[in-house]
Structure 1
Amino acid sequence: MLKGVFDQLSELGNLVPRYTGPRCLLERHAVGGCDACHSACPHEAIETPPGTYGVRVDPQKCTGCGLCVQACPTGALEYDLTAPLQSVHDQREQPADPRQPGPPEATLTCVPSGAGGPSLPCLGRVTPALVAAAGAWDVPLTLIHGDCAACPVGRADVPERLGAVVEQAQTLRAATGRPARVTVRAAVPEDQGRALKVSRRGAFTSLLRAGGRQLSQNLPERPLPFVDWSDPPQRTPQEWTWRRRALKPVPPAGAGVRWPAPLVDDKCIDCPVCANVCPTEAITRELQPGGGVRLLLNLGACTGCMACLHSCPPGAIYEQPGWLLAAFDVQVLLRESDHRM
């Protein structure tokens, strides 16, 4: 059984997530640091080399479960979301199965479950953006896991972690008035050999996408390209880019979108700490010709990690959990002063 699981995983390519150092709170020297990835990893594959800042993933120990990525508050660790998103999107166009009345649904399974259909190494790869996107496309999504307590890939609490992911996605989607339709369940015998059904058009598209290679139930791995930090849009992780895109239908003008981000009060001393620790440089500090400072926030790039709040020397930063949709389209002015440190 285990040999079959690892044989399938080996076909997926490089299972190690991409690490982007400037997004790591350890490399940013944020007060309190962060050990979310280390705590989430079930195989001690996350290392912090002595005398260094940041993390390293041991490729010999990493199983590609994705739990470190799921836990990372800043997108420093990430997988390409394209394949699972495309799979969910394409499945909504499948012809209805006469044996299963109702509209088409999308499924994602884990390799160890043995259930057929589009599969990931572990459902620890599922993130709020993926669930929110399914809601945006109005396609029911079923997440099928195996015996997590005995799994060699992930860990026993994967179903509970999935529940937290779904809750986070639903909180984001509340502003749209249309919650995602998500079911999380264990595999049953009827799932064995579940075929990946696609329309003729979908199959042709998939073949083109795969460059003519044979279709596989395992969703293909694609290494993420190097992040060009000089290009501001690349600083925002895919996860938060897709969370923003998944706000469909468009929320009403007065509806608050759950997107935790910082605001600044009058205790601010105009120091550069918040901008220095921000892992995506969502906070920028503009020096004015007359000696003043403007502190700006790119809301869509903010991951809500609150490193700025925890690191602020005078405690001038506080969290605002909800924002109007219009705030995503402008630079939010956090503070403007006529002097600086």
Structure 2
Amino acid sequence: MLQGVLARLDDAGNHVPRFTAPRCLLERQAVGGCDACHTTCPHDAITFGMLGSSIQIDPDLCTGCGLCVQVCPSGALEYNLEPALQSVRDQQDLAQRAAPDASLTCARSGAGGPSLPCLGRVTPALLSAAGAWGAPLALIHGDCAACPVGAPDVPERLERVLDTAQALRAPTRKPAQVTVRPATPEDASRSLTVSRRGAFGALFRVGKQHLAQGIPESPLPFVDWSVPEDRTPQEWTWRARSLKPTPPEGAAIPWPAPLVDDTCIDCPVCANVCPTDAITRDLQPDGGVHLLLNLGACTGCMACLHSCPPQAIHAQTHWRPAAFTAPLLLRESDSVM
């Protein structure tokens, strides 16, 4: 048993994000493809490969900054969100703490408290969840211009991530209380908070300050594509979960997703290119087909829109809360290609 625990803790040092090939727009052969991760990586760690492994990440060049994950439109690249979420929740739940707010810090900032290798790993879901919990959160960065881990514009990227999170929070009428700022000398005294679940693991990290102050990584297991719920990336699962308090019935939730008009020719392209299988075709006994959308699984990548042969797909940017409760019928046809 102890060997298994030690093996899992050893795996926690894996800094390369998980790549789920079926979620990649290159793998789905969507029109226009995607090069967001390659273009964004500040260390030239990402190259393109053959189908089945379209994205190649050099572990010797990857610093674990997370900027590729932050820009991936379909969740093909991701880190485990739950350790960071747990850290924020733990800090919010503590009755006594050294700082007036929860914090996530850059590991090279000199600030104490829970840290990430780079705040480039912060995503809208994390900030929206902090808003749902009512947790004031400080994102404390170091000298990004001189940092060898991330990129000089990480603070600006964080502001854009926060804008996305605040737009998601707006229908709940409970904005996230997030501050993005550089570290100060006083931040060095921020204390680390560890949940009871994390205390046992911390015993094995004694003497390793860079890990003891960090949020443990646990590599995500490979996605079991036979389980539809697992096809949705954690980022979008948590974006939907963080819509608390529940928005009023008439609220408009920002969630870009496709609509289909009458020029549709009932071909299977949109379902074929969808990276999370949010669009499905339900073949009917009479030979027709229902085109369905699982809104909560849609990442808004719009591969369907760009790939649609007759250009019958258009983006709708806002949806009512009821649209998340059951699959939406995009089109009903009595024939199928």
Q: 2 CA distance for matches of 1:211 and 1:291?
A: 59
Tell me what 1:75 maps to. Answer: 75
SS in structure 2 at match of 1:73: coil
Distance in 2 of aligned mates of 1:165 and 1:254? 26
Cα deviations by residue, 1:304-327 (Å, 9 ceiling, x for unpaired): 000000100001000111111111
What runs of 5+ residues in structure 2 fail to find an aligned partner? Answer: 1-9, 207-211
Aligned to 1:207: 199
Contact 1:264 1:317 in 2 (8 A): yes
SS at match of 2:108: helix
Q: 1:20 to 1:331 in 2, by over 3 A?
A: same
Amino acid in the other structure paired with 2:59: P
How many angstroms does 1:221 deviate by?
Answer: 0.8
8 A contact 1:26–1:53 mirrored in 2: no
SS at match of 1:92: helix
The separation in 2 between residues aligned to 1:337 and 1:265, in whole angstroms, is 12
1:154 to 2:150 alignment: yes
- The aligned counterpart of 2:188 is 192
Displacement after TM superposition at 1:39 (Å): 1.1
Contact 1:143 1:182 in 2 (8 A): yes
Number of equivalent positions: 323
- 1:236 corresponds in structure 2 to 232
| 2:238 counterpart SS class | helix
1:104-123 equivalence runs, <5 A: 104-123=100-119
Distance 1:225 1:153, change over 3 A: same
Q: Identity of paired residues, percent?
A: 66
SS in 1 for 2:89: helix
CA distance 1:154–1:253, change in 2 (3 Å) = same
Q: 1:12·1:218 contact (CA, 8 Å) conserved in 2?
A: no
Shift in CA distance, 318/203, structure 1 to aligned 2, threshold 3 Å: closer
Pair 1:313–1:53, CA change in 2 (3 A):
farther
Mapped partners of 1:44, 1:327: distance in 2: 40
Residue 62 in structure 1 maps to residue 54 in structure 2: no
How do 1:218-297 residues align onto structure 2 when only pairs under 5 Å count? 218-297=214-293
CA contact 2:37–2:68 (8 Å) conserved in 1: yes
Contact kept, 8 Å, 2:11 with 2:218, in 1: the verdict is no
CA shift in 2, pair 1:53/1:218, >3 Å: closer
C-alpha separation in 2, matches of 1:232 and 1:51 = 22
Preserved contact between residue 21 and residue 53 of structure 2 (Cα < 8 Å): no
Following superposition, the deviation at residue 329 of structure 1 comes to: 1.1
Instruction: Check 1:50–1:308 CA distance in 2 against 1; reply closer, same or farther (3 A cut).
Output: closer
Q: Which amino acid aligns with 2:101?
A: E
Structure 1 residue 204: Cα displacement = 3.2
Question: After alignment, is 289-298 or 63-72 more displaced?
Answer: 289-298
Question: Within 1, Cα distance between the matches of 2:329 and 2:11?
Answer: 48
Cα distance per residue 1:92-140 (max 9 Å; x no partner): 1223457x6xxx4110001111211000000000000000000000010
* Per-residue Cα deviation, 1:31-83 (whole angstroms, up to 9, x for no partner): 00001101110000011026876211111100000000001010000000111
Quote the offset at 1:212 in angstroms: 5.1
Alignment of 1:321 with 2:313, yes or no, is no
- Does residue 1:144 correspond to 2:140, yes or no? yes
Q: Match of 2:326?
A: 330
Relative to structure 1, the CA distance from residue 88 to residue 23 in structure 2 (aligned partners, 3 Å threshold; closer, same or farther) is same
Cα RMSD (Å) of the superposition? 1.8
Q: Distance in 2 between matches of 1:59 and 1:128?
A: 26
Are 2:130 and 2:137, in contact at CA under 8 Å, matched by a contact in 1? Answer: yes
Deviation of 1:192 (Å): 2.1
Say which SS state the counterpart of residue 207 (structure 1) adopts.
helix
Contact 1:294–1:335 under 8 Å retained in 2: yes
Query: Which amino acid counterpart does residue 198 of structure 2 have in structure 1?
Result: S
State the Cα distance separating 1:12 from its structure 2 match.
Answer: 5.7
**CA distance in 1 between partners of 2:74 and 2:38 (Å):** 14
Separation in structure 1 between the aligned mates of residue 226 and residue 202 of structure 2, nearest angstrom: 31
CA distance, structure 2, for counterparts of residue 339 and residue 49 of structure 1: 38
In the aligned structure 2, how far is the partner of 1:272 from the partner of 1:203? 48
TM-score, length-scaled by structure 1: 0.91
Q: Which of 303, 310, 313 does residue 307 from structure 1 map onto?
A: 303
Contact 1:65–1:121 (Cα < 8 Å) also in 2: yes
Match of 1:7 in 2: none
> In 2, Cα distance between the equivalents of 1:11 and 1:280?
27
Answer whether contact 1:207 1:214 (CA < 8 A) is retained.
no
Query: Aligned-pair distance for 1:14?
Result: 0.8
Shift of 1:188: 1.2
Alpha-carbon separation, structure 2, partners of 1:44 and 1:287: 44
Deviates more, 1:62-71 or 1:215-224: 215-224
Query: CA separation in 1, counterparts of 2:50 and 2:85?
Result: 37
